[in-house]
Amino acid sequence: MATYDPLQSSHNHTNYPVYQENANPQFYQSTGYITPARPAGKKTSKWVKFGIPLGILVIAGVVVGVVLGIRAHNNSSSAAAASSQAAAASGSGAGHVDGKEVFAQATNTWFLPSYPSTTDTSLYTTPTLNSALSAWPADPFQPSNPSVTNLRPDRPRLIAPAHKWAALPNLIATDPYYHLWNATIFENATIWDAMVPVPYVNDGGTSGNGILDVARQIKQRVKAFSYAYRMTNDTHWADRCWEELQNAAGNGTTSWGPDVDKWDSGHFLDTAEMSAAFGIAYDWLYDIWTDEQKLAIRTTLVNYGLYYGIQGYTVPTTYIAWWANDIKGNWNCVCNGGLTLASLAILGDDTSGYAETLLGLTVTNATNNCVFAVSDDGTWSETNDYWYFGATGHAEMTSALMTATGSDLGMLTANPNFSKTGLFHMYGQGPTQLFAWGDTGPNKYTATANSLLFYASAYNVPEYALFQRDQFDSGDPWSMFWYDPQTSGAFWDGMPLDHTFDNSTDQWMSMRSSWTDANALFVGVKAGTLQGHQTHNDLDVGDFVIDALGTTWFGELGDGNYLAPDYFSNDTQGSGRWMYYRKMTEGQNTLLIGATNQDVTATPSITFGTTNDTQGSSTVYTPDGDSTAYFVADMTSAYFNVTSVKRGIRLLNGRKQVLLQDEVTAGASVQWRAHTNATVSTSGTTATLTRNNQTMTVSLLNAPNGATFSTSDAVRLPTDVTPPEPDQPNTGVTVLLITLPAGTYTLEVLFTPEWNDGTTAVTPPSVALDSWSLTSHNSS
């Protein structure tokens, strides 16, 4: 649990344990420095052909600034049928290239890759990462006794050593992913080139990110400009990079930030990301900078970055480095990561001594803290959204240490279960929503999931790279060095449909009917302890989400206002955080008992089962009729005034329907609550949900006397205490309710999507939760 001290921040509210990008898109857009320049914005996809033999296409997404790489599968009739538009645009017979035959056909509405619908299993092969055959040459730097101050002799040191740059042109020519990513990076670099350097906007007062968005944009640009220079030798790119650095040092044509503490050390993520950006520029363009330029970059980096890192580490009373003190979360990864990249970049040239001092601190601190943000089941304990930031910080730091020192220095192994964190991300993603419990912001444009490409190579798990390489955000300079060209196959071939993450911190399960069908049924459900998440969770034991028919039927409300009073005060029962609707038990898809929040000291226990189905290589897949998964949580400890509360959820009818069952004995009122964006009509024990022209019927089976469905808006109960600041509106959200007085009940709620594919709905037998098994609800 983080403790926050007012002294850590120069701002007028007390803590910044959080990061949420683009909390207020309107605000950023009005400043004009976000990159709205991509000429997309069309309702229908616009296909652009690259003049290359592989049939690589780029689709400009419906949301500005997003690109997905795809390659048309023109020699497969089914694939071509699935994407006639792609085939038409490509016009030539692209086939298998280097065995890399699996490509998404486009991004769908949810910015996820859509795969061709085909039973031609020859198109899809077993996930393989043949590093023995790696097209990367072996790294010549193999120190026998690696240490954090014994660095490779050549530049670049960080993430992208010279022997990899030398291999890139050939990889770009032969590998469709490299080809696409190279094009994307140049496309973005060209857009950013045409824009003025990122202006200083400190939004600590309006959305609470300090200059973090600014810092991350500068880093993104520095990466792209430096990449473009090294790939072309065109000094225009180095000059443009220098212009960006000058500006962020306060030496540009307009003023930029305060004179001292320019990089906002009170919100140290900002300082760390700026430091990383300057370190990358210093290192990647080392050979072109003059001695004067190098001195200028180092001076700025030391004065505005490393100095504050030293202050934080060695003068703890400043609280600048509160994030170093036992914080097992994204702050620790990002802050140590930025200081490490910067220090590695200038070590040897640095006359302050700060770089060497910091390298003696950051690695030890991160291997004791950052890496333990991951529970032993792979879950990122700060919730799904923070995985992006934390894993990116960890991957950058680890990758830079590996290239600079020849060793990960424990970053990959100090937590022996860290490697599973890729599964956490993959299983958390449903066909239309991320199962994003806790604090989750609307979108992100600088944090990607490309750490999966790094983890695939680092841990030899090809599925991570196969999953990520088709995602819209994969076109990033890091991908050029993290992706292993010898990765082939379909990530879903052999990947179980279900996975349970059973560490007591989160205890959650992911169940689905397909990995490749956007209409698939998906259920996410969780129990887990309510404390120990860096104050990013909700009071949500028993929470669930459901996707089916390409529609989110039940989902999350996301984060509240990070600047609202007491939002991050602490996670004790009396915390002001738990007065906000989106964080209260009321705002979750679970039981509310006694109209009171759950007990923050809850220690739920779970049982679960799965028939362990795997999809195989075909993208067309129908689970058999008895295929199922279930999850049962004893939630008694989460409630006051109850004798017993258990909740179970399971897939039925060959993963076409869902049963949610609660067994409650409570001395206070009981309310079953679930939040939906659908239009709801209720009639007694039936509720009909419609959305996107799809329908789901929700039925209360064997209803206890007096139990019927009703609805309400997603607003607090009139009996609740008034929060320090009003809740945000939950526009368009309806709460489906069953409201009962104190008593003993079994509530069996059946969710039946209208598949319109000949599926016959079933009504399951009534089976006590303690008797649930894989076969307890079989139809025969």
Ligand X SMILES: *[C@@H]1O[C@H](CO)[C@@H](O)[C@H](O)[C@H]1NC(C)=O
Residue 183 makes contact with ligand X by CB under 6 A: yes
Beta strand segments in 531-590, E: 544-548, 551-554
Is the Cβ of residue 87 or residue 736 nearer to ligand X in the bound state? 736
| Interaction between residue 252 and ligand X (CB under 6 A) | no
The answer to whether 65 contacts ligand X (rule: CB under 6 A) is yes
**Among 555, 587, 604, 753, contact with ligand X (rule: CB under 6 A):** 555
Contacts to ligand X from residues 691-730, by CB under 6 A: 692-693
Stretch that binds ligand X, among 142-150, 246-254, 340-348, 534-542 (CB under 6 A): 246-254
- Give the whole-angstrom CA distance, residue 123 versus residue 117: 11
ω before 156 within 30° of 0 (cis)?
yes
Of 18, 28, 608, nearest to 329 by C-alpha is: 18
- For ligand X, the binding residue among 445, 491, 515, 745 (CB under 6 A) is 445
Residue 772 lies near ligand X (rule: CB under 6 A): no
The answer to whether 764 contacts ligand X (rule: CB under 6 A) is no
231 binds ligand X (CB under 6 A): yes
**What per-residue string of b and e applies to 704-714 under the rule 16 or more CB within 10 Å gives b?**
beebbbeeeeb
Nearest approach in angstroms of CB 134 to ligand X is 19
Q: Pick from 77, 128, 206, 251 the residue near ligand X by CB under 6 A.
A: 251
Residue closer to ligand X (CB basis): 403 or 415 = 415
Q: How far is CA 227 from the centre of its chain?
A: 25
Residues 570-589 vs ligand X: string with x where CB under 6 A?
x-x-xxx-------------
Please name the amino acid found at residue 779: S
Q: Return the range that interacts with ligand X (CB under 6 A); candidates 24-32, 178-186, 347-355, 701-709.
A: 178-186
418-437 binders of ligand X (CB under 6 A) = 433
Report the residue number, 127 or 576, with the smaller CB distance to ligand X: 576
How far is CA 590 from each of CA 158, 459, 556, 598, rounded to the nearest angstrom?
47, 37, 11, 10
Among 324, 400, 447, 750, binds ligand X (CB under 6 A): 324
Question: What residues numbered 67-106 form the site for ligand X, per CB under 6 A?
Answer: none
Q: Of these, 174, 364, 561, 614, which contacts ligand X (CB under 6 A)?
A: 364
Contact 354, 307 (CB under 8 A): yes
Instruction: Give whole-number Cα distances, 319 to 21, 355, 661, in Å.
Output: 24, 20, 48
Contact 124, 617 (CB under 8 A): yes
The token pair at 415 is 């937590």
Piece of 83-91, 93-101, 226-234, 390-398 that binds ligand X (CB under 6 A) = 226-234
Contact between 313 and ligand X (CB under 6 A)? yes
Binding of residue 66 to ligand X (CB under 6 A)? yes
Among the listed residues 109, 199, 80, the one whose alpha carbon sits nearest the alpha carbon of residue 519: 109
Q: How far is the CB of 548 from ligand X (least distance, A)?
A: 13
Instruction: Give the helix ranges, DSSP H, for 462-605.
Output: 462-468, 477-482
Q: Does 169 participate in binding ligand X (rule CB under 6 A)?
A: yes
For residue 305 the two structure tokens come to 């970055």
| Contact track, ligand X, 274-303, x by CB under 6 A | ----------------------xx-xx---
Cβ of residue 244: shortest distance to ligand X, in angstroms?
10
Q: Which tokens sit at 606?
A: 């779970």
| The binder of ligand X chosen from 146, 594, 616, 704 (CB under 6 A) | 594
Q: How many other C-beta atoms are found inside a 10 Å radius of the C-beta of residue 690?
A: 14
Q: How far is the CB of 256 from ligand X (least distance, A)?
A: 10
Comparing C-alpha atoms, which of 404, 180, 369, 145 is closest to residue 279?
404
- Counting residues that bind ligand X (by CB under 6 A) gives 76
- Smallest gap from Cβ 376 to ligand X, in A, equals 4
150 close to 106: Cβ distance less than 8 angstroms: no
- Comparing CB distances to ligand X, the nearer of 375 and 405 is 375
DSSP 8-state assignment for residue 714 = S
Q: Does 484 bind ligand X (CB under 6 A)?
A: no
- Measured CA to CA in angstroms, residue 191 lies from 96, 185, 197, 219, 505 at distances of 32, 10, 12, 15, 43
Interface pattern 336-355 for ligand X (x via CB under 6 A): --------------------
Residue 224 binds ligand X, judged by CB under 6 A: yes
Q: In this chain, which residue has its C-beta nearest to ligand X?
A: 555
Residue choice 137, 258, 667, 684 for contact with ligand X (CB under 6 A): 667
**At closest approach, how far in Å is the CB of 557 from ligand X?**
6
Residue nearer to ligand X on the CB measure, 124 or 331: 331
Closest to ligand X by CB, 118 vs 529, is 529
Q: Which position among 232, 235, 773, 775 is part of the footprint of ligand X (CB under 6 A)?
A: 232
Number of helices and strands (H, E) in the chain? 17, 24
d(CA 607, CA 650): 12
Structure tokens at 341: 């990249």
Region 454-483 residues binding ligand X, contact defined as CB under 6 A: 473, 475-476
Q: Is 257 left (phi over 0), alpha (psi -120 to 50) or beta?
A: left
Q: Which of 216, 394, 675, 777: binder of ligand X (CB under 6 A)?
A: 675
- CA distances 83 to 48, 90, 104, Å, are 14, 11, 10
Count Cβ neighbours within 10 Å for each residue of 136-157 and write b for 16 or more, e otherwise: beeeebeeeebebeebbeebbb
* Rounded-to-integer distance, Cα 331 and Cα 535, Å: 13
Query: Which pair of tokens denotes residue 397?
Result: 């730091």
Q: Which of 22, 596, 617, 752 binds ligand X (CB under 6 A)?
A: 596
Handedness of CA 675, 680, 684, 686 (dihedral sign): negative
Subset of residues 632 to 661 that bind ligand X, contact rule: CB under 6 A: 640-641
Q: Which of residues 42-61 bind ligand X (CB under 6 A)?
A: none
96 exposed, middle or buried (CB, 10 Å; 0-12, 13-18, 19+)?
Answer: middle
CB of 221 to ligand X, least distance (A): 8
| Interface positions, 99-158, toward ligand X (CB under 6 A) | none
Rule CB under 6 A: choose which of 172, 277, 363, 563 binds ligand X. Answer: 172
Distance between CA atoms of residues 10 and 150, nearest Å: 37
Q: 360 or 574, CB closer to ligand X?
A: 574
Tell me how crowded residue 315 is: count the other CB atoms within 10 A of its CB.
Answer: 11
- Kindly tell me which of 337 and 555 has the beta carbon lying closer to ligand X: 555
Q: Which is nearer to ligand X, 21 or 663 (CB)?
A: 21
At its nearest, how many Å lie between ligand X and the CB of residue 447? 9
For 700, phi then psi, to 5°, come to: -95, 110
Cβ–Cβ < 8 Å for 568, 544: no
**C-beta of 750: minimal distance to ligand X in Å?**
19
Nearest approach in angstroms of CB 714 to ligand X is 8
The yes or no reply on residue 503 touching ligand X (CB under 6 A) is yes
Return the range that interacts with ligand X (CB under 6 A); candidates 5-13, 133-141, 367-375, 531-539. 367-375
| 376 counts as binding ligand X under rule CB under 6 A | yes
> Cβ(609)–Cβ(630) under 8 Å?
yes
Q: Indicate which single residue of 245, 423, 509, 525 sits in contact with ligand X (rule: CB under 6 A).
A: 245
C-alpha 320/C-alpha 302 separation (Å) is 16
From the CB of 271, what's the least distance to ligand X, in Å?
A: 15
Among the listed ranges 181-189, 256-264, 343-351, 628-636, the one in contact with ligand X (CB under 6 A) is 181-189
Asked if residue 142 lies in contact with residue 402, where contact means CB atoms within 8 angstroms, the answer is no
Neighbours of 158 (CB within 10 A): 24
Site for ligand X, residues 391 to 420, rule: CB under 6 A: 416-417
